[in-house]
Structure 1
């Protein structure tokens, strides 16, 4: 989750909930291992990452993204993230001890609208297409891109595309259950740090 979104959410919740949201944001939206790996990879191959893709490789990467139905996947993932955030916010509000004034309700509604606009603008196909092309184009050779495209256009590849969202939903639910199990321990750790 971008820092600005966390910061704009935080004023609407009491301090203990702010800490929870920050922790949840750190757990759910930022993987230090993935970030470290990405930074290490970027440092190891800066010239390759900066070099423009040959036209054939660029076209092959775009063709793969189309075969993977990336535009639809991005829209679906964005909607899933937004619904998850809205559900989490509703749960936090329900658990809050603070009165739910019309002003707070209006603030939450405005925040949800802004979050939707932000995600739809910043995570749309048009916004990230070139980044995805570059990422796939620098990761795979033109031959590999074409073979992957053939796979995604095959019946097995189409099956994967159809069933992958359900698998992702199950993984997300399992992750959410795991975070809920770990939450008391994380809260104890946060309380110990305050002492």
Structure 2
């Protein structure tokens, strides 16, 4: 029973990590991302520019490859997930595929860039250097994540000690005479 509960917890944690922003508060001054297809008015020229950038960046292929790569990494790191790999792949393809996300991704870019900026970025991503950047970006992102994880893991004992110390402070009896 404990093993099953732990597995469900690991799966839930993995899903929340994979989606990244779920449950997070928006950055100060930033509106939460809503489904672009539900947005009442979208400037079609701006939307077309955002879609042009996403296409120039080869986002559809990159997104599909990222799902597969993420699942492979998760199973390698946590072998107990192996029997669930295809279920997770099916779930992510249903909820994280290009067809599902493209309008929302376009909206995200529209919120951050003007039409002219989107056109400039798309022009860059159509150059040999831009194509290389689009190709290498997932690898760079993965390496950055691995670097961060490695630094945290390498200093986990320090974090645990800090957490224990803080927990002791928070649970220590308070002297009513001390402000």
Task: Provide TM-score, normalisation by structure 2.
Answer: 0.70
Residue in structure 2 matched with residue 119 of structure 1 by the alignment: 92
- 1:31–1:126: structure 2 CA closer, same or farther, 3 Å change rule? closer
Alignment RMSD, CA only? 3.8
Residues 1:171 and 2:129 are matched in the alignment: no
Q: Which runs of 5+ in 1 are unaligned?
A: 1-9, 44-49, 94-106
Give 1:93-132 correspondences, 5 Å limit: 109=83, 111-132=84-105
Matches of 2:150 and 2:58 in 1, distance apart? Answer: 29
Residues 1:159 and 2:148 are matched in the alignment: no
Of 43, 46, 57, which aligns to 1:57?
46
Matches of 2:18 and 2:41 in 1, distance apart? Answer: 29
Task: Provide TM-score, normalisation by structure 1.
Answer: 0.65
Deviation for aligned residue 1:25: 5.5
- 1:192–1:18: structure 2 CA closer, same or farther, 3 Å change rule? farther
Structure in which a larger fraction of residues adopt helix = 1
Residue in structure 1 matched with residue 176 of structure 2 by the alignment: none
Deviation for aligned residue 1:179: 2.8
How many residue pairs match? The answer is 161
Deviation for aligned residue 1:69: 0.5
Matches of 1:86 and 1:183 in 2, distance apart? Answer: 22
Preserved CA contact (<8 Å) 2:47 2:107? yes
Preserved CA contact (<8 Å) 1:67 1:153? yes
Deviation for aligned residue 1:62: 0.7
Matches of 1:26 and 1:181 in 2, distance apart? Answer: 24
Of 43, 57, 71, which aligns to 1:68?
57
Deviation for aligned residue 1:182: 3.1
| Max Rg structure | 2
